[in-house]
């Protein structure tokens, strides 16, 4: 008999972690919905073409795509991220702007799994389409910061940068290419290859031998157009006004090719791992156009759920919520009375579980203890004969009998304590 296990890079999220996930998503939802963002649920797979717009130089597109042909002969891909889907949805439905949406769900990338990196990984995020105002950039960044704070995270650092407009990017990219080419011998082999594909990405190299060269490389800020420079300056001033702490990082280029102007990244300094970026985003003015829509500015961020939870673990905050029932019914008379009591309590919105298979009282009490319930209700032959039920608060060491018709009230008052 073959025993199956999860595919590489995927896993089962069981209790108590699963409840924590849900709580995470609920907190995120409340933060962004209170800021006017509406939930969008795009499909998990789309026409491959949607994601090819993310850029030919991105490995997310060239190497890591989960793509396949469906039975209708369509080229399909599991989404590697959700920004492209949101833009596609915008073009498809043409909602009025500003369009502020949030999402939560799994994405897929065919990568080698390691700590904080899975083939199926969850992100929560927001996107806004149709607004150019730098104050929106600041709002978006501030919301992410607010969310991290809400989770209880403290060791999170924000890095910001501007990649300029299309023309700026090209000029800067050319300048980088020239600079690195002139010092090619000092560059690592990997970075030399990266240079031919996307010079900007060389700045992202973590290889030690590249660092000296990278540190002395031309800065993007010297290549920004007046418009882009002003925009960036306004974003920074707004962040200051909002009290959001940040550091400007000239080397922050981010992985996807569609970014323009503002980019940002949140890093957990509590994480001792290769992957410390727990969230990031930026502007992608132009992406909607690439997907066949009208010229529309866009900005957003995505936060990695798994990584953020790792950061929470590292800081020892945001524990899994308690999902225990309040009451556990022990019935040694066959179980039918327990069924009736459970039904009664559930109809009165009191959470309750019970034991099955008519096990011994000792076994059922053990189950009651394990359930974490605050109260055990005990029904034996004596109780049935007397027409009452024993109420046993689990931590008191005491218990008392109560008539059936007063049970709900008794439990309510007991749970108040």
Partner RNA sequence: GUGGGCGUAGCUCAGUUGGUUAGAGCGCCAGGUUGUGGUCCUGGAGGCCGGGGGUUCGAGACCCCUCGUCCACCCCA
- Please tell me the distance from the alpha carbon of residue 119 to that of residue 386, in angstroms, as a whole number: 60
Q: Which stretch binds RNA (CB under 7 A): 218-226, 241-249, 287-295, 394-402?
A: 394-402
Among candidate residues 45, 50, 43, 48, the one with its CA nearest the CA of residue 290: 50
Q: Long-range contacts for 383-387 (Cβ within 8 Å, ≥24 apart)?
A: 384/333, 384/337
Q: Are 358 and 334 in contact (CB under 8 A)?
A: yes
Q: Does 187 bind RNA (CB under 7 A)?
A: no
**Is 123 near RNA (CB under 7 A)?**
yes
Asked if 407 interacts with RNA (CB under 7 A), we say no
- In the block, which residue shows the tokens 């019914």? 329
Q: Which is nearer to RNA, 97 or 388 (CB)?
A: 388
Scanning residues 286 to 315, which ones bind RNA (CB under 7 A)? Answer: 302-304, 306-307
247-248/156-162 β-pairing = parallel
Task: Please state the closest distance from residue 253 (CB atom) to RNA, in A.
Answer: 8
SS3 of 101-145: the string is: EEEEEEEECCCCCECCECCEEEEEEEEEECCCCHHHHHHHHHHHH
Quick note: the x/- pattern for RNA over 323-352, rule CB under 7 A, is ---------x--------------------
Report yes or no: 107 and 123 within 8 Å, Cβ to Cβ.
Answer: yes
Q: Are 9 and 111 in contact (CB under 8 A)?
A: yes
Interactions with RNA, residue window 139-158 (CB under 7 A): none
The answer to whether residue 113 forms part of the interface with RNA (CB under 7 A) is yes
109 binds RNA per the rule CB under 7 A = yes
Q: Does 67 bind RNA (CB under 7 A)?
A: no
Is residue 417 involved in binding RNA (CB under 7 A)? Answer: no
Contact between 280 and RNA by CB under 7 A: the answer reads yes
State both tokens at 70. Answer: 């469906």
- Binding to RNA by residue 121, rule CB under 7 A? yes
The answer to whether 272 and 169 are in contact (CB under 8 A) is no
> Which stretch in 25-33, 69-77, 131-139, 390-398 sits in contact with RNA by CB under 7 A?
390-398
Q: Does 215 bind RNA (CB under 7 A)?
A: no
Instruction: Determine the Cα–Cα distance for residues 99 and 83; give it in Å rounded to an integer.
Output: 13
Cβ closest to RNA, residue 135 vs residue 363: 363
Whole-angstrom distance, CA of residue 155 vs CA of residue 267: 8
Q: Does 81 bind RNA (CB under 7 A)?
A: yes
Per CB under 7 A, the list member of 48, 275, 320, 344 interacting with RNA is 275
Burial class for 84, CB neighbours closer than 10 Å (0-12, 13-18, 19+): buried
**Mask of contacts with RNA, 25-64, x by CB under 7 A?**
---------------------------------xxx---x
Among positions 2, 4, 5, 243, the unique one binding RNA when judged by CB under 7 A? 5
Out of 394, 408, 410, 415, point to the residue binding RNA (CB under 7 A): 394
Q: How many residues bind RNA (CB under 7 A)?
A: 72
Our finding on whether 316 is near RNA (CB under 7 A) is no
Task: State the angle between helix axes of 134-151 and 17-33 in degrees (0 to 180), rounded to the nearest 10.
Answer: 150
Give, as ranges, the residues between 240 and 269 that touch RNA (CB under 7 A). Answer: 254-256, 265
């Amino acid at each position: 008999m073959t025993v199956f296990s999860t595919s590489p890079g995927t896993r089962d999220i069981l209790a108590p972690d699963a409840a924590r996930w849900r709580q995470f998503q609920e907190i995120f939802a409340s933060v962004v919905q209170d800021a006017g963002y509406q939930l969008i649920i795009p499909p998990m797979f789309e026409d491959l073409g949607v994601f090819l717009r993310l850029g030919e130089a991105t490995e997310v597109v060239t190497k890591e795509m989960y793509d396949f042909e469906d039975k209708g002969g369509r080229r399909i891909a599991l989404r590697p991220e959700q920004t492209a889907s949101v833009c596609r949805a915008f073009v498809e439905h043409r909602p009025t702007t500003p369009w502020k949406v949030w999402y939560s769900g799994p994405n897929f990338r065919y990568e080698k799994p390691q700590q904080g990196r899975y083939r199926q990984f969850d992100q929560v995020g927001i996107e806004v389409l149709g607004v150019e105002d730098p104050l929106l950039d600041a709002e978006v960044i501030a919301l992410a910061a607010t969310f991290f704070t809400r989770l209880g995270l403290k060791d999170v650092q924000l890095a910001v940068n501007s990649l300029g407009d299309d023309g700026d990017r090209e000029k800067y990219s050319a300048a980088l290419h020239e600079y690195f080419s002139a010092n090619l011998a000092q560059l690592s082999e990997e970075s030399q290859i990266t240079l031919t594909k996307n010079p900007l990405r060389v700045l992202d190299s973590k290889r030690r031998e590249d660092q000296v060269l990278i540190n002395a490389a031309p800065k993007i800020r010297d290549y920004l157009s007046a418009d882009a420079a002003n925009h960036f300056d306004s974003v920074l001033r707004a962040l200051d006004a909002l009290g959001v702490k940040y550091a400007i990082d000239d080397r922050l280029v981010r992985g996807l090719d569609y970014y323009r102007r503002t980019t940002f990244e949140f890093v957990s300094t509590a994480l001792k791992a290769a992957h410390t970026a727990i969230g990031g985003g930026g502007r992608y003015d132009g992406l909607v156009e690439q997907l066949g829509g009208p010229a529309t500015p866009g900005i957003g961020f995505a936060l990695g759920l798994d990584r953020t939870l790792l950061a929470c673990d590292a800081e020892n905050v945001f524990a899994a919520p308690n999902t225990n029932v309040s009451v556990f019914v022990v019935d040694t008379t066959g179980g039918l009375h327990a069924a009736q009591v459970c039904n009664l309590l559930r109809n009165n919105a009191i959470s309750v579980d019970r034991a099955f298979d008519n096990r011994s009282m000792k076994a059922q009490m053990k189950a009651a203890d394990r359930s974490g319930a605050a109260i055990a209700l005990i029904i034996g032959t004596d109780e049935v004969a007397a027409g009452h039920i024993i109420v046993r608060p689990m931590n008191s060491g005491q218990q008392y009998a109560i008539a059936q018709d007063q049970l709900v009230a008794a439990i309510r008052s007991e749970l108040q304590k």
